[in-house]
Amino acid sequence: MSRLRNLSLFLVLAAVWGSAFVAIKAGLAYFPPVLFAAFRYDVAGVVMLAYAAYAVDDPVPRGRDAWLEVVSGAVFIIAAYHSFLFVGETDPAVTSAVAAVIVSLSPLLTTVFARAVLPAERLTAVGALGLAIGLVGAVVLANPDPANLTSGGTVAKLLVLLAAASFALGSVLSRASEADIAIETMEAWSMLLGAGLTHLVSVALGESVADAVWTTESLLALAYLSVVASGIGFLIYFHLLDRLGPIEINLVSYVAPVFAALVGWLVLDEGITATTVAGFLVICVGFALVKRDALREELRAAGVIG
């Protein structure tokens, strides 16, 4: 029953985070992109801080190391990741499924940054091959036209790739931190500080609150991203992180694109191209090679292999 519950929560999380790409795409019709991302974490930060106040003994970061971890999360995981992602999704060529598949490169990119930042992390020859295959998958997905590299959403897809790289770097810096801080506290303050930084980026880009269009649809998109995808999504994530560990929970990045494609087709009438499917499959092969030992252990623990 416990394993069935974990699987059910895992699929719920994949569905919530996969459909978030669709909510972003829908909301971008009403909000300037970076301002939209800032609004999302204005609300999500308050929700997460309220949960941290309920769940942990001290919801306020204490000490220099704790605040450094909060700042790294705010800069890379919240501000940079979402600014690049939301701007990238403004391009019609970047469908919800395409964005989700590119972001699924994050676990592979994490390996690159981990090797540079964490001395204990080592990448074997097979792991390096898996990383290269994963990046090939990203190129297949981008499907650039050599004669015109600015066409076909190539630049927008590169922005989403930068988003994935920002998230990966922020994750590694967080892992490298020696701060004694509850993850709920770190997430809450990173969201709030990240929202502030994202507002600054929005102003620097010339975006204005006056450009936001407040309708039922725009409010629903914002509420879904803030409360469901960020608030409830992260609560499920924290729960599963304790029960499954970081390897299994990382697999959510590879299931989310399926839900992004399905919901994008149902809600926004987005098509799924052959290059999207091919790129996703190549990235999955790369991930399997990089994480082969951990996946083997998880399968052995589940009794799938001996």
Rg (CA), the chain: 19
The whole-angstrom separation of Cα 7 and Cα 236 is 12
CB atoms within 10 A of CB 214: 10
In this structure, the chain runs to a length of: 306
CB atoms within 10 A of CB 292: 14
pLDDT at 143: 60
Q: Is the dihedral of CA 183, 185, 187, 190 positive or negative?
A: negative
pLDDT at 119: 56
pLDDT at 217: 94
The 8-class DSSP code of residue 209 comes to G
pLDDT at 295: 65
The whole-angstrom separation of Cα 306 and Cα 300 is 6
The whole-angstrom separation of Cα 44 and Cα 37 is 11
Do 141 and 102 meet the contact criterion of CB atoms below 8 Å apart? yes
pLDDT at 149: 42
Question: Which residue bears the tokens 């920002």?
Answer: 166
Ordered DSSP codes for 51-91 = HHHHHSS--S--SHHHHHHHHHIIIIIIIIHHHHHHHHTTS
- What is the residue-level pLDDT of the chain in tens, covering all 306 positions? 466 777 788 889 889 988 999 999 999 999 999 999 999 999 999 999 999 898 888 889 888 888 988 998 899 989 999 999 999 999 988 888 888 888 877 777 777 777 666 555 555 677 667 667 766 766 665 565 555 445 567 888 889 999 988 988 887 787 666 677 888 888 899 999 999 999 999 999 999 999 999 999 999 999 999 999 988 887 887 777 667 665 566 667 777 887 888 888 888 777 777 777 777 787 777 767 766 766 677 667 666 565
Q: Is the dihedral of CA 51, 53, 55, 59 positive or negative?
A: positive
Do 240 and 10 meet the contact criterion of CB atoms below 8 Å apart? yes
- Rounded to 10 deg, the angle between the 96-103 and 274-290 helix axes is 20
pLDDT at 50: 92
